[in-house]
Amino acid sequence: MLLNDPKWNESSVLAPNDKTFRQTQYLRPVLDQIHHNPAAEIMCHARGRTGILSLGQGEGDVSTPDFITEAGIDALRAGKTFYGPPLGLPEMRRTLSDYYRDVFGFDLPPERMVLTPSGTAAMHLAMMAVCDKDDEVIAVTPLWKNLLCAIQLQEAHTKEVCLRENGGSWSLDLQELFDAVTPITRAIIINSPNNPTGWMMDTDDMRTIMEFARERGIWVISDEVYGRMAYGIRRAPSFLDVADPDDRLIVINSFSKNWAMTGWRMGWMVVPEEAEKRIYDLVLYDYLCPQAFSQFAGMQALRNGEAFLSSQMAWYRQARDIVYDRFAQWGNIVSTPPDATFYAFFRVEGEESCFNLCRRLIDEAGLCLAPGCAFGKEACGYVRMCFAVSEPKLLDALGRLERVVRR
């Protein structure tokens, strides 16, 4: 019977325990088990409509600055379009090492730097390097859905330990985190500063977690993409502040947020030096190498991007104040200003379903935001709004939101 035969039905022909079932399956079973992304569904609900204002994705409305773009264009014109080293150009890796010395005060050799085609790719690479099928990963949530799916694709088990919310502010119970660890726990994933809540872990808690993980041989996967987006300080605490060089720690980062480079798809990892060879092999057989010309743009961002980042953070602080001043006027918003990131993460009193609220915002106000249920079970009921946009656009968005939620 042919697969395109209208009478053919895979589920009715073979049961999963049939020895030939695997030969007839179309794609891997894990792809059927991946949970749908409610945020993507909301964006699909908005797609094709006129007049939609979207603050649902994690990017602002400022284009990549010219000095970065020109470096990429110059590299293209110079013929930097060939295969490169799997872990990144040597000059790029040295520039990252210099960046950590100048901004973080770390002495990290270039051999610990791995360039990747996006921060998302870095997380998937980390999961491929660390996790086997049926391993357990403790994920501190709320957490970006793509990171949770990276665990699922490895057919590992995810155990959520949730940040706790009190009056709109968030905290992590370390004892709850440690109690969640079992003999099959392979890694702990932590995103700080956190998307979507804006929560930021302090150095003492990082040190406690690192010591706990070190004693048990557990990996810590630290997503520090928003580490330069902390208010009032140059950079957020990093697990690299408290780690030994040979600790089982992988730090994930990205060019996207700091330097308005979301579309360039460039990220990096900091790995133990001992892991370099194995990561090299993994990259070689996965995507071969990161694109060369983009790395020249990335080098410009790292070397000369501080003024741009500072100006962006100055505006984000103003935008945050605008948002929370308006929230205070309405009286039915539960949230506190974030310590970092460019997100307002809030719930509306009386609105039980964040997914339904986001649909209504599209239908009634043409405003697209991200439902909290996309970030984990504790985030249900919340909504995420990116405020990294121009003041006119932000005021327009707040006006649309007010029309729907203010009573």
234 in helix, strand or coil?
coil
Q: What is the pLDDT of residue 21?
A: 53
289 in helix, strand or coil?
coil
Longest dimension (CA), the chain: 67
CATH code for the structural domain at 81-305: 3.40.640.10
Q: What is the pLDDT of residue 406?
A: 87
Residues of the chain where predicted confidence (pLDDT) is lower than 70 = 1-24, 35
Is the distance from CB of 23 to CB of 354 less than 8 angstroms?
no
Q: What is the pLDDT of residue 300?
A: 98
Q: What is the pLDDT of residue 1?
A: 38
Specify whether the backbone of 273 is left (phi greater than 0), alpha (psi in -120 to 50) or beta. Answer: alpha
Specify whether the backbone of 345 is left (phi greater than 0), alpha (psi in -120 to 50) or beta. Answer: beta
Q: What are the domain boundaries of the chain?
A: 38-63+307-405, 81-305
Q: What is the pLDDT of residue 11?
A: 43
Is the distance from CB of 343 to CB of 196 less than 8 angstroms?
yes
Fold of 38-63+307-405: Aspartate Aminotransferase, domain 1 (3.90.1150)
Q: What is the pLDDT of residue 392?
A: 98
Alpha helices for 53-116 (secondary structure H): 66-77, 90-99
Please tell me the distance from the alpha carbon of residue 331 to that of residue 205, in angstroms, as a whole number.
34
Is the distance from CB of 295 to CB of 94 less than 8 angstroms?
no
